[in-house]
Structure 1
C-alpha cells in the first residue's frame, strides 16, 4: 500500500458503519508520514474507529470534542463539551493534561502526546495536511495491542494555516 491508497482507505474507514479491523488501520499507519510536535499546534476535532476496543464509545459519552495543543508543554487531551455546548479541558477524566514529545513507536520517531496523570501515550502520523491518525498506547499494553485508534481533523478555530504540517510534496 502506498500513501495515496492509505489515505483513500482511511477516508473509507471513517465513513464505515460498524467495526473496523485494526489490521487495516495498522497497514495505513505503516505508510503515513511521521509528525513533529510543533507541526500540530492548534485545535483538533476528534473521532474514533470502532475496533471493539474497551474504550470505544466512552469518549463520546464524556462529550469529547478533540484535542488542543497550545505548545509542546501545554496540551489538552480531552477537550469536551459541557451541557451548554461550551468547550472545556476535562482534567478530571484525563487526570491532568499532557505534553507533546517525539517518541519512537513501531521503529519510527513521531509526535506523541504524553498524559500528565496516566501512563498513556497518543502517537500521531499525518493522513493529509489537516488530518492525523492516532494510536493510544500505554503501560500494560502488549506490543501487539489492543490499541485504541482515533483521528483528529484540524478545527476551523485552530488558527494554523491549512497544510502547515506536511513538507513539500507530501500533501493531498
Structure 2
C-alpha cells in the first residue's frame, strides 16, 4: 500500500499519521487552484496532542467554506446542538497564489492571524493541508474532504 492510500485510510478511520511522512507526501502531491477549493469542506487533524489540535477540538471545528478567492470562512464550527456556523470572531481569509515548499499553489491567508494554510490534492475531493503558523516551530497537518451536500 502506498503512502497516499495510507493517508486516505487514516482520514477515513480518524487515525493519526506521522508528520515526517505527511511532509514527504505533501511535497510529492500536486498543488491546487482556486476553482478546486470553491465549496464547503469538512476538516480534521492527523494528531491530537498539539496546541493547534486542542484548540480546534475546543472550538468544535467542522471545516472551511470557500465562497470565492476574496471570501473564505476558515473556521466553520459546530454549536452545542451540532449546527454548523462560521466562527468569524477570528476573522475571515482570502486565497492567494504563493510559493510553498518549492511549488506555486493557491493558499489561504487569514486576515487577522499570522497563519497561512497550504493545500495539495490527494483526490478531487480530499486535500492534504498544512497550517503554517508564522513563528511556530512546527506546522500542523490537516485534511479537508469536500462536502457533497449543503452544510446542515
Same fold (TM over 0.5): yes
For the Cα contact (< 8 Å) 2:97–2:105, is it kept in 1?
yes
Say yes or no: does 1:49 pair with 2:46.
yes
Q: Structure 1 residues 51, 64: CA separation in 2 closer, same or farther (over 3 Å shift)?
A: closer
Say yes or no: does 1:149 pair with 2:141.
yes
Partner of 1:9: 6
Greater mean deviation of Cα atoms: 114-123 or 83-92: 83-92
Distance 1:73 1:138 in 2: 21
Runs of 4+ in structure 1 over 3 Å off:
none
- Relative to total residues, which structure has the larger strand share, 1 or 2? 2
Secondary structure of the equivalent of 2:2? helix
Secondary structure of the equivalent of 2:149? helix
Q: How does 1:2-151 map to 2 (within 5 A)?
A: 5-14=2-11, 15=13, 17=15, 20-50=17-47, 52-92=49-89, 95-141=90-136, 145-151=137-143
How many aligned residue pairs are there? Answer: 150
Cα-to-partner distance string for 1:27-76 (whole Å, 9 max, x where unaligned):
11111111011221000001101174321232122111100000010000
Structure with max Cα Rg: 1
Q: Structure 1 residues 52, 20: CA separation in 2 closer, same or farther (over 3 Å shift)?
A: farther
Structure 1 portions without partners, runs of 5+: 160-172
Cα-to-partner distance string for 1:59-114 (whole Å, 9 max, x where unaligned):
1221111000000100000001112222111112xx21101111110111111110
For the Cα contact (< 8 Å) 1:7–1:28, is it kept in 2?
yes
1:122 deviates by: 0.3
TM-score by length of structure 2 reads: 0.89
Cα root mean square deviation, aligned: 2.0
